[in-house]
Structure 1
Amino acid sequence: MEIKDVVEIIVQQQNNVRLDTFLAQELNKVSRSFIQKLIKKNLVEVNDKKVKPKYKVCEGDKIVVKLPAPKKLEVKPEDIPINIVYEDNDVAVVNKPQGMVVHPAPGNYSGTLVNALLYYLENLSSINGVIRPGIVHRIDKDTSGLLMIAKNDNAHIKLSEQLKEHNITRIYYTLVKGNITEDKGTINAPIGRHPVERKRMAVTDKNSKDAITHFQVLERFIDYTLLKVKLETGRTHQIRVHMSYINHPVVGDPVYGSKNNKFNLNGQLLHAKVIGFKHPRTGEYMEFDSELPEHFVKVLNVLRNQKKSRQ
């Protein structure tokens, strides 16, 4: 294995912190799971000794981390049909279907939105590297809807600034379990990694970021509510976590909702319906709206018919 770099750290004032957690914090943009793999491959030593990920670091510990050279990744263009709602020389807006992953990740380098974008669009920004060209923001695999794509680095920077300043309009439609009595509301609860199940997010005060979700009731059914949701912040799984937090989980959500799949869904009923932003070159505000996907409409029609039969 080719070693790209060797990092040496002398621990300062640390007590009762796991080695993998400590290194994930110290080495910027390196995940805890990646650190655990390095430890298992004997690429991490503490005081010249092999240790386990759960080792508790102490003040004065000398930690040596050998970082392997990254594998060369090649993401290939693929002729996958996608719905490009808008395109010019700087940006594109794409309506992503449910079930499509936005960008490649280890173990999954094909069939993603990025593979399709590389086939259909001549240029994509390079800021996020080979894996995520053009990708300014993401939505979950089983969330459908609109995404803005940067076709050059200048556009990427300008759109990212708008995201950071919460100036992007992002409106979702979602069907949640139960009846929400108030017509509108705001959920202001910080989101971070679940303390035990690391693949999940949770409302928590530990290692979390502010998360604010605004919602408005559009339609009430028997035991369900259709919501219009506007994001003020954009945390991972934000809508899904917040709705579960107030005991109204998104219908079809296998992670934060019920395991009972009443409507035979392939994922959550969550659709990124509206995206609005200032054009990175002209400064003109642009807004795009999309129709609810067929699988979402089908469930709504079932609920509307049930509601009529009760009246």
Structure 2
Amino acid sequence: MEFRDFTAGKDDDGRRLDRVLRIFLENLSMGEIYKLLRKGLIKVNNKKAKADTHVSQGDVISIAEFLFNSESKSNVVTAHSPVPSSENLNIVFENEHLLIIDKPYGRSVHGSEKEKDAGLDKEVTAYYEAKSKEEKEKSLSFRPGPLHRLDKNTTGLLVFSKSLEGAHWFSEGIKNHTIHKKYYGIAEGNLAKTEEWEDKLSDSDTTEQGFYTVSQNTSGLLAQTTAKPLAHGKLAGHDITLVEYAIKTGRKHQIRAQSKIHGHPLAGDTAYSGHKDKLLKREYYLQAYSLSFPANPLGLPPEIKIELSSDFLDLLRCCEIKNPGL
């Protein structure tokens, strides 16, 4: 019987065999995987193995070739196959642990069937798998994923994991508040001075424009944001402020919700009391422009920054903000 061989990578090391196979062979149930192991149709280093066997880096996992036969309707295995890398990821930084992109406006991180958007996570996975095969470092069970949230219409720096070490370190940094995130936004009204916002937020019971917003609630989760005015201008005769937001927590819709609560909703953000205007080309203007990191073992610089997008700059000029000093 012929077998197809796969070599376990660094991020497979120490994992149970059934857990590796469950991710690698995503079309099969755990029951089917156990059955294949008992029959010797899946082997480790050319020997039968139990489901609770712990995989080591460099182990060769062999799967019976007939399971990959596309003509079989009952026992088809679709292993993850490398695909061409995306040309539209806008990569800002990349190493073996993390991938940081400049997320475009209107793109969902996880995708939407309704809007026919496959999702940036799938594009990053395709890029990761293609590159891993090219470098012969593909993990059988590890899949990259977003390590924090950005709403569909928020742009800017978005971080994906490329290794377990990178995922664990970044997640701990977010949890312990040692990684700092800053945003630029255009808010309605005249924010005269820097304000420290602390509010408790929770999901609303009703939807706005087809999705659940968040609102102030004494039983909600604490959200902390520093809002610093950078420049002032006029949009259709009304005051607007270019604001730098530094977030200490990462709640759903945090900046958008707190901006509404404190009387300065994002311009155009009608879900949070903002007002539409013909000059606005977006639902709202909010860009994650800076990530700051402590000393780290991942090879990250102290700070990663991007410049404002052209749409953002165009609106600033329309609002007579010619030199915001960014």
Superposed pair shares fold, TM > 0.5: yes
The structure number with the bigger radius of gyration is 2
Matched, 1:92 2:99: yes
Aligned length: 233
Report the Cα offset of residue 204 of structure 1.
1.1
Alignment-derived partner of residue 283 in structure 2: 267
Report the Cα offset of residue 221 of structure 1.
1.3
Paired amino acid for 1:165: N
Q: CA RMSD in A?
A: 3.3
Out of 165, 168, 173, which is 2:184 matched to? Answer: 173
Alignment of 1:284-299 (within 5 A): 285-299=301-315
Alignment-derived partner of residue 217 in structure 2: 204
Cα distance change of structure 1 residues 283 and 209 upon mapping to structure 2, 3 Å threshold? farther
Alignment of 1:33-182 (within 5 A): 79=86, 81-104=88-111, 110-121=117-128, 122=131, 133-181=144-192
Report the Cα offset of residue 115 of structure 1.
2.3
Alignment-derived partner of residue 248 in structure 1: 264
Report the Cα offset of residue 92 of structure 1.
1.6
Paired amino acid for 1:185: E
The superposition leaves residues 269-308 of structure 1 with CA deviations (integer Å, 9 ceiling, x where unpaired) of: 000010122476347653111111111111100111799x
Residues 134, 152 of structure 1: 8 Å contact kept: no
Paired amino acid for 2:93: Y
Matched, 1:304 2:320: yes
Alignment-derived partner of residue 197 in structure 2: 187
Residues 232, 321 of structure 2: 8 Å contact kept: no
Whole-angstrom distance in 2 between the partners of 1:175 and 1:110: 27
Residues 194, 228 of structure 2: 8 Å contact kept: yes
Report the Cα offset of residue 259 of structure 1.
4.5
Whole-angstrom distance in 1 between the partners of 2:277 and 2:138: 39
Cα distance change of structure 1 residues 167 and 298 upon mapping to structure 2, 3 Å threshold? same
Whole-angstrom distance in 2 between the partners of 1:238 and 1:179: 20
Cα distance change of structure 1 residues 252 and 163 upon mapping to structure 2, 3 Å threshold? same
Moved more, 247-256 or 281-290: 281-290
Report the Cα offset of residue 180 of structure 1.
1.2
Residues 293, 302 of structure 2: 8 Å contact kept: yes
**The residue matched to 1:255 in structure 2 has which SS?**
helix
Whole-angstrom distance in 2 between the partners of 1:282 and 1:146: 18
Report the Cα offset of residue 109 of structure 1.
7.3
Whole-angstrom distance in 2 between the partners of 1:306 and 1:286: 29
Residues 181, 291 of structure 2: 8 Å contact kept: yes
Whole-angstrom distance in 2 between the partners of 1:109 and 1:279: 40
**The residue matched to 1:189 in structure 2 has which SS?**
strand
The superposition leaves residues 95-143 of structure 1 with CA deviations (integer Å, 9 ceiling, x where unpaired) of: 10111111235656743211221232335999x987xx32110101100
Paired amino acid for 2:183: Y
Cα distance change of structure 1 residues 125 and 266 upon mapping to structure 2, 3 Å threshold? farther
What is the TM-score with the length of structure 2 in the denominator? 0.63
Report the Cα offset of residue 150 of structure 1.
1.2
Structure 1 portions without partners, runs of 5+:
5-71
Cα distance change of structure 1 residues 179 and 262 upon mapping to structure 2, 3 Å threshold? farther
Moved more, 283-292 or 170-179: 283-292
Moved more, 284-293 or 212-221: 284-293
Report the Cα offset of residue 155 of structure 1.
1.1
Whole-angstrom distance in 2 between the partners of 1:89 and 1:125: 12
Report the Cα offset of residue 147 of structure 1.
1.3
Residues 142, 267 of structure 1: 8 Å contact kept: yes
Whole-angstrom distance in 2 between the partners of 1:306 and 1:291: 15
Paired amino acid for 1:178: G
Out of 233, 236, 251, which is 1:221 matched to? Answer: 233
**The residue matched to 2:320 in structure 1 has which SS?**
helix
Report the Cα offset of residue 169 of structure 1.
1.2
